[in-house]
Amino acid sequence: MPSKFRHVALIGKYQAVASGLAGASSRQALEGIAHFLLDQGCEVVFESQTAANMGITGHATLEVDAIGVQCDLGLVVGGDGTMLGIGRQLARFGVPLIGINQGRLGFITDIPFDDFERTLLPMLAGAFEEDHRSLMQARVVRDGHSVFDALALNDVVVNRGATSGMVELRVEVDGHFVANQRADGLIIATPTGSTAYALSGGGPLLHPSLPGWVLVPIAPHTLSNRPIVLADATEITIELVAGRDASANFDMQSLASLLHGDRIIVSRSQYRARFLHPKGWSYFDTLRQKLHWNEGVA
């Protein structure tokens, strides 16, 4: 059956090293997937950083923005961090993404590498489930001026410094004062990010279809300071009142150092990431598998 997708981009781990066993294994995996796609009649390009980092030659390459304009599918080979990075960049182009897992957990890169040929064949022919994930637009405002802005697919995290004590944060929602919180930090997570750092911090799982966010304090001074779920149509503002060496992290992949009085303003992005999954995919199957919910059940 001919592929529904004609122009497919391959994206691998940005930090992979071309030398050594891990680099050679990743390079072999990507080249094997490329040959499989060519056999299905797809035109294949490699994301330029992937090709450079892996030492891949003999294939066409494109920068990420060119992939967004020219390609109708992105195949991401790696872990969830790889998918988060490219998902943010391609969301504004609406390019759908399929994740082939070479990482650990694989909540959003959910196709096992060992099974990619059997799984991809029907997906390339159009048999798949489509899953849209919301993004956050975040900016750091200092003295009335935006000094840093970023998209986040998982979470925005305000953290204390590595060697300092707690931070004090003033939290507002849609301009309404919520609380001054003393804690090690604060997480604002999307439903996608609710299975990441927010889960470790005691936050709830949010189904991806929910238009919501979760605010999770990190080791709060007041034990009654609990996670709260908010509508994602709200604007959340976090002001650094006190604390040294604090920072704001965006998907743990970009970082801004904070000064007292800085305000981190988070709102819903106009863009959404598009993930494709095998036909019959269920979010609950993913939770059951990745969180080992059936362990110990006779």
Residue of 39, 65, 80, 149 marked catalytic: 80
In sequence order, the 6+-apart residues with CB closer than 8 A to the CB of 52 are none
Beta strand pairing call for 185-189 and 155-159: antiparallel
Q: Is 115 an active-site residue?
A: no
List residues with catalytic annotation: 80
